Amino acid sequence: MSSHVQLHQPEGVPALALTGERTLPDVPAENYWFRRHLLVYEWIAEQVDGLSVIDMACGEGYGCEVLSRHARTVIGVEANPEAYEHARLRYRRANIAFECDLVERFSARAEAITFLQTIEHLRDPGPVLRHFSGLVGGEGAIYISTPNVRTLAPAGAERSDNPWHVHEYTAEEFAALCASHFTCVRMFGLFHARKLRVHEVALRLGWDALHRRLGLTERFYAWFTPAISAADFRLKGSDEADLNRALDFVAVCRP
């Protein structure tokens, strides 16, 4: 279990353990997922330069720190008491605050809201999306991301085995959901780039069978997984790529 607990946390900051509900930095075995989500936060941070932002369901809090590099203010909202306490203690910047609350109840207004890798956990996302729309007003933006069930689920399966996910979306389903609650929706997809793209091609050419046969599996991935960076992912608009092949979807929604 120690390989799935955060390493090297600052003094006085309790380390969090992986549960499958949220991703975490500082866990080498989780680095692929962390960097995959980090790239999206970094992209959004550039879009919200100088704005007030609420990061709904902020989890461990790393996304709030990324957003705060550009945003005027960031409020991270997290209902889990352990994650909230960790975030509050770890990310101490003058323009960041954290609140322990439910996203559907939190009522502060902002110019932008981020809601990343969470909508798939909701049985009925409609009321939450309507609530967010009211918080940003007519000129604001809501950034929503979710995994693509077509690339997340194993071959032949209808969904992944993540017990925290209530509904996993196709590109068509996710776009339709957002369009039913917002007047303007821009869709993006996240794809592998650089060494992850090379690895993707290698897998199609039989790398999985080769590394097992040569006994290289543990040594290779002990190096490869921690070496993944956010630059090994790329966001593409729906005019650039087939979103059915994306890893994750990102919707930029305006009321």
Given 3-state DSSP classes, what are the helix, strand and coil percentages for the chain, each rounded to the nearest 5? 40, 20, 40
Spatial CA neighbour of 236 closest among 187, 198, 163: 187
Range of lowest pLDDT (19-23, 204-208, 237-241): 19-23
pLDDT greater than 80 at residue 179: yes
Q: Is residue 20 part of a domain?
A: yes
Query: In the prediction, which pLDDT does 3 show?
Result: 64
What pLDDT, on the 0 to 100 scale, is given for residue 248? 98
- Using 50, 70 and 90 to split pLDDT, how confident is the model at 26? very high
Is 203 a domain residue? no
As given in the structure block, the two tokens for residue 103 are 């996203």
On whether residue 87 sits in a domain, the answer given is yes
Instruction: Calculate mean pLDDT across residues 92-120.
Output: 98
The mean of the pLDDT values for the chain is 96
CATH number at residue 91: 3.40.50.150
Please state the rounded mean pLDDT for residues 144-162. Answer: 95
Examine residue 118 and state whether it is found in any structural domain, yes or no.
yes
> What CA–CA distance (Å, rounded) separates 215 from 234?
31
- Cα–Cα distance for residue pair 153/145, rounded to 1 Å: 17
* Angstrom distance (rounded) from CA 254 to CA 132: 10
**113, 56 contact by CB (below 8 A):** yes
Q: How far apart are the first and last CA of the chain?
A: 44
Count CA atoms within 13 Å of residue 151 on its CB side. Answer: 17
Whether the pLDDT of residue 140 is over 50: the answer is yes
Is 184 strand, coil or helix? strand
Q: Has residue 2 got a pLDDT over 60?
A: no
Per-residue pLDDT for 11 more than 90? yes
Can you read off the two tokens belonging to residue 234? Answer: 């790329």
Q: SS3 of 244, please?
A: helix
Span 52-73, average pLDDT: 98
Share of the chain above pLDDT 70, in %: 99
Name the helix (H) or strand (E) containing 191: strand 184-192
Is the predicted pLDDT of residue 31 greater than 70, yes or no? yes
Range of the domain at 41: 2-191+235-254
**48 in a domain, yes or no?**
yes
Two structure tokens written together for 209: 């069978």
Number of domains into which the chain is organized:
1
| Distance of alpha carbon 226 from alpha carbon 117, whole angstroms | 22
Nearest 5°: CA angle at 15, between 14 and 21? 120
State residue 1's pLDDT score: 39
The answer to whether residue 216 is domain-embedded is no
| pLDDT value at residue 20 | 87
The fraction of the chain above a pLDDT of 90, given in percent, is 95
Inside any domain, residue 220: no
Mean pLDDT, residues 26-54 taken together? 97
Separation in Å, CA 165 to CA 48, 119, 123: 28, 9, 9
Decide if 179 is inside a domain.
yes
25 token code pair: 């930095």
